[in-house]
Amino acid sequence: MFLKLITLLLLAITSQLAASGPTQQLSKRASLTQVTNFGENASGTLMYIYVPNNLATNPAIVVAIHYCTGTASAYYTNTPYATLAEQYGFIVIYPQSPYSGTCWDVSSAAALTHDGGADSESIANMVTYTISTYGADASRVFVTGSSSGAMMTNVLAATYPEMFAAGVAYSGVPAGCFYTGTVDGWNSTCSQGQVVESQAYWTSVVENMYPGYQGARPRMRIHHGSVDTTLLPQNYNETIKQWTGVFGYSDTPQQTLPNDPASPYTRYIYGENVEGVYGTGIGHTAAIFGDADMEWFGIA
């Protein structure tokens, strides 16, 4: 618990999230609104939503998930997704963790199971509510998050692959790596990069979160920093193994693109459905590249 508290403090110190590109010059015209009646919510997760004034017909949905110590409001304020929503007309869902310290439950068996009744199911129900209420396009639902939110991004991609078309994880760990068997647990072995497994192992972890599922899987882009001391860089390697294994790719990149999307980051292409973005000298708070996210999602 002491280590978890120290880590939370580190996350709080590094929680100023950077956005790149011209989106910073746009403006938010609507407001962040809480929704309390979105459906089954066993974990008590809170739902906030941003519906732009410039709402498209059959809009896309982006689920944007905050870090430990964060809130829906903080992620709304410090990330570019709401201003991008005004530009492109999509809806943003900002879930908020119900736990002290506001990390996400990515450690319990329920959270790591399709329709298991934990945070992951609550967030999926937020998506279902939004599709129904606003006539959103169920084929264009995307998920992204930072730190603990990146962990949940990977978990949602594994537990609800039929729901999400693509995901972008900023400084997280592989789906299932944080398992403790407890709700909102902290797994120091995983955070310190000491869980090193094969592609086949990580692929089986994803498949076991939704047994029998044979459909499409979300395209995944994984961001991490080379000097991350909160969730050590080995977690980048393991997450790449996980998603390349799911898609049957080699975990050796097909292409390496320096200074992409910006220096000191390098983009690695493993196949059509998996990419990595690795920041040399970057710590736990990797910059959020909103415009690049829009391209990855197919919104731009």
pLDDT-based confidence at residue 27 (cuts at 50, 70, 90): low
Specify the 3-state DSSP secondary structure of 192: coil
pLDDT at 171: 98
Distance between CA 68 and CA 9 in Å, rounded?
Answer: 9
pLDDT over 90 at 14, yes or no? no
State the average pLDDT over residues 110-133: 97
Q: Is 191 a catalytic residue?
A: no
Distance between CA 18 and CA 185 in Å, rounded?
Answer: 28
Please list the residues that pair with 145 across neighbouring strands: 65, 169
By C-alpha distance, which of 14, 20, 2, 15 is closest to 264?
20
State the average pLDDT over residues 226-250: 98
Average pLDDT over the chain reads 92
Q: Which two tokens stand for residue 14?
A: 């590094």
pLDDT-based confidence at residue 220 (cuts at 50, 70, 90): very high
Phi and psi dihedrals of 201, rounded to 5? -60, -50
pLDDT over 70 at 39, yes or no? yes
Q: Which of 147, 148, 171, 191 is catalytic?
A: 147
pLDDT over 70 at 294, yes or no? yes
Q: Which two tokens stand for residue 186?
A: 């902290």
CATH architecture of 31-297: 3-Layer(aba) Sandwich (3.40)
State the average pLDDT over residues 188-195: 98
pLDDT at 30: 74
pLDDT-based confidence at residue 253 (cuts at 50, 70, 90): very high
State the average pLDDT over residues 250-256: 98
